[in-house]
Structure 1
Amino acid sequence: MDQAVEARSRDRVSRMFRAAAEMGLTVCRSWAFNDGAYNALQVSPGHFDERVFKALDRVLVEAGRHGVRLILSLANNLEAYGGKTQYVRWAWEEGVGLSASNDSFFFDPAIRDYFKVYLKTLLTRKNHLTGVEYRDDPTILAWELMNEPRCTTDPSGDTLQRWIEEMAAYVKSIDRKHLLTVGTEGFYGPTSPPSKLAVNPGIWKDNNYGSDFIRNAKIPDIDFASIHLYPDTWLLQQRATVDEKLEFAKRWVASHIEDGDTELGKPVLTTEFGLSHRAQGFDPAHRDVLYRAIYDIVYGSAARGGAGAAAFVWQLAPEGMEEFHDDFSVVPSEHPSLRRLIKEQSCRLAKLRRGAGEEAKRALSACAAGSS
């Protein structure tokens, strides 16, 4: 969205969707929030910048042109693009906030009302280019309540659970056409059995972050579960070797797909995963090995009709966006082996669908164009 605001950078959006389509990718996860920051969508509670809304309209149209559907995240646990911190700051500045704690985002009635105003405004937005309201737009595959929600002040998980239940019900009261997910990282919580808690990584084993993967995902209004995967960060204190990171990654993804099969009866998407190029001893080949391992687990599940549905690289970027890169950014054109691997995964998943639907047909068309 941010790159679609100003004319000089809009081509980046087109190039990214074009590159994605050439690799057979049919779904992209992106932010639909920017609260109080540069080029903010929501400049203050309930007040929106039409110029930025038009940019989001353009993103939807451009994605549709390239046959890519979107998972749109609605808020950020982190401070980037405002995040929950900005909502708490607004309430504090207006004299209605109960607490200066960032976690008051989840329990303060005034802040929950701020968020609901944003949700209703976004979901009922009429695209100025198509005349279609977002809640009716088929380019949107799903909404994600928050990127990596955590509530550290309540490790029982009750506060976050209540917030998810309330906001999921509210979204569904406005839009029942699109799928909905939470946006969790996948940490097992207090209601999980010891065997699952043991899967949590390193210092996360006891999970004092207020999230509870299975409990959160079981909420009826949640249509699919999500997990993230960052072995470099999560196993940093253990000084894990490359092989140890790989084994953890495979166990992490397989465990959650098992949950989808046996506990949830819902798809499980790995909506972020990657390796940091700043990790000690990093070699680009390590990414190929990790990606292949994750893709094989997801494909194996999908092939037998299981819960494994997809795995999204964090993060793909077009050329010329170096100022936005982080430790995990990948420019596909600069990493041919990784590009081929992503395309191979897209193609074999598309073939499982036997060509049903426009997305699968587009992916198969990209596959037919060759492996380069």
Structure 2
Amino acid sequence: MKTNLLRLVLGAALLLPGTWAFAQPSAGFVRRQGTQFVLNGRPYRYIGANYWYGGLLATQGPAGKARLAKELDFLKQHGVTNLRVMVGAEGLSDGYQYRVLQPLQTAPGKFDENIMAGLDYLLAEMGKRQMKAVLHFTNTWEWSGGLGQYLQWHGYPGLLLPRNPDYNWDKYRAYIAQFYTCEPCKADVNTYIRYVLARTNSISGRKYVDEPAIMAWEIINEPRPMQPAAVPAFEAWMRQTAALIKSLDKNHLLTTGSEGDIASDNDMGVYERLHADPNIDYATIHIWPKNWGWFKDTATTKGFPVVLSKATAYVDKHVAAAAKIGKPLVVEEFGLPRDGQVFTPAAGTGLRDQYYATLFGLMQGGRTPASRVIAGYNFWAFSGAGRPKPGQVFWKAGDAYLGDPGGEEQGLNSVFDADKSTWAVIGKYVKTLR
């Protein structure tokens, strides 16, 4: 009789929003329960980091592995145990110096085992430290090859890259929008996904689909239809890709990688439909005040009240959307330049620290819509022990990897291990989650 009563109580708990069931899911895997995550039967909430280059460090020999170990230990010590990482880049540089020069996919369907071995190593080291990875496959943007690379591989002319004298945003959007109707391009992405999900870790001997160090897969970094006319084809591709991933991996969560409704010209309908897909487990947003023109040039201080106001409103709008579809929300990218937009580690981070504190504070308390829906954060981006080269603005071959991709000023949004005031803010809010 006691056993039957307990079953009834647990069954009721599963049906009530905001309650936690005591039944244990598969050990070590993060699960979704309503608008929150659960790990081993307990609520799982986190403040994490973007660490896109994490899988590349081990490919750089003993020095790269030593840096990786030092940085993972540092993050673990500071309570940052969730890392968003790129699976691998696509395509060779072809003279474009601002892209990742160590691609996983060197040509359609051809993969570099050394790059995957680097990701194997990262996951094995994260597993030792009870850390979780969110792994994104491809990219809307050119800095890691992304959708434009697939179009180039299949003979689509006219790709103009940023920092090219002829670069034009509207032309770039029109070019990338072609991907969603390029059948061989989409087939190549499917091949890439199947390749990764069929992998067995060369170090641990564990299949990727059985790896507890992976929290979630992400279809693409910052998916965008690019043009209103492309929305139906874009949504169809996202649904089809989500279904493929879930058919191959039943253990891990899946999300989109979306920035929010800004990615579809403020059409919240697109955002809600993407995340209402039953194969998508949680919603994401990114927040980029500088890129989105919330302040001008170096006038961060003058525009800072607007930054905080707009950032909060942007979160609230997407909290409402996530609550509507009944899924968690992760604020998985957000950054702000160092004070005065000076890129060196010696520059202050006072405004960034306030920005971080404002965003982290939205998760606190448990009584507001945001606190009931936001399940995690990944700040952009951890640069650890890496440092930009003095007097050099952009990344060059042989430089240390930083959180800022090659086409961005090195140090622009980087959080270094020496940024004590920022780590104090992160530490304060990590403690509240415990």
If the length of structure 1 is used for normalisation, what is the TM-score?
Answer: 0.81
Q: Secondary structure at the match of 2:245?
A: helix
CA distance in 1, matches of 2:113, 2:77: 32
Is 1:91 the counterpart of 2:154? The answer is: yes
CA distance in 2, matches of 1:292, 1:328: 16
Is 1:308 the counterpart of 2:374? The answer is: yes
The residue number in structure 2 matching 1:161 is 235
- 1:39-84 deviation line (CA, Å, top 9, x unaligned): 2211111111111111110011111122210000101111112111
The residue number in structure 1 matching 2:326 is 265
Task: Answer yes or no: is the 8 Å Cα contact 1:157–1:189 preserved in 2.
Answer: no
CA distance in 1, matches of 2:355, 2:229: 31
Q: Secondary structure at the match of 2:284?
A: strand
Q: CA deviation at 1:104?
A: 2.6
Is 1:12 the counterpart of 2:12? The answer is: no
Among the aligned pairs, what percent are the same residue? Answer: 29
Task: Answer yes or no: is the 8 Å Cα contact 2:339–2:349 preserved in 1.
Answer: no
CA distance in 2, matches of 1:301, 1:258: 15
Task: Answer yes or no: is the 8 Å Cα contact 2:335–2:379 preserved in 1.
Answer: yes
Q: What one-letter code is carried by the residue in structure 1 that aligns with 2:107?
A: S
Is 1:320 the counterpart of 2:386? The answer is: yes
Q: CA deviation at 1:237?
A: 6.8
- Count of aligned pairs: 327
The residue number in structure 1 matching 2:56 is 2
CA distance in 2, matches of 1:344, 1:158: 44
CA distance in 2, matches of 1:294, 1:301: 15
Is 1:186 the counterpart of 2:241? The answer is: no
Is 1:250 the counterpart of 2:312? The answer is: yes
CA distance in 2, matches of 1:160, 1:278: 38
Task: Answer yes or no: is the 8 Å Cα contact 2:294–2:303 preserved in 1.
Answer: no
The aligned runs of 1:28-47 (5 Å cut-off) are 28-37=83-92, 38-47=101-110
CA distance in 2, matches of 1:249, 1:174: 36
Task: Answer yes or no: is the 8 Å Cα contact 1:189–1:211 preserved in 2.
Answer: no
Task: Answer yes or no: is the 8 Å Cα contact 1:185–1:226 preserved in 2.
Answer: yes
Is 1:329 the counterpart of 2:414? The answer is: yes
Is 1:152 the counterpart of 2:226? The answer is: yes
Query: Which is greater in Rg?
Result: 2
Q: Secondary structure at the match of 2:413?
A: coil
Q: CA deviation at 1:302?
A: 8.4
The residue number in structure 2 matching 1:295 is 360
- 1:283-319 deviation line (CA, Å, top 9, x unaligned): 5211111111100102245888711111111001111
Q: What one-letter code is carried by the residue in structure 2 that aligns with 1:315?
A: A
Q: CA deviation at 1:151?
A: 2.1
Unaligned 5+ runs, structure 2: 1-54, 93-100, 157-173, 389-399, 405-411
Quick check: which one's helix share is greater?
1
Structure 1 residues 138 and 242: CA distance shift in structure 2, 3 A: same
Is 1:233 the counterpart of 2:286? The answer is: no
Structure 1 stretches (4+) deviating beyond 6 angstroms?
A: 237-240, 302-305
If the length of structure 2 is used for normalisation, what is the TM-score?
Answer: 0.70
Q: CA deviation at 1:258?
A: 2.3
CA distance in 2, matches of 1:301, 1:89: 48
Is 1:70 the counterpart of 2:133? The answer is: yes
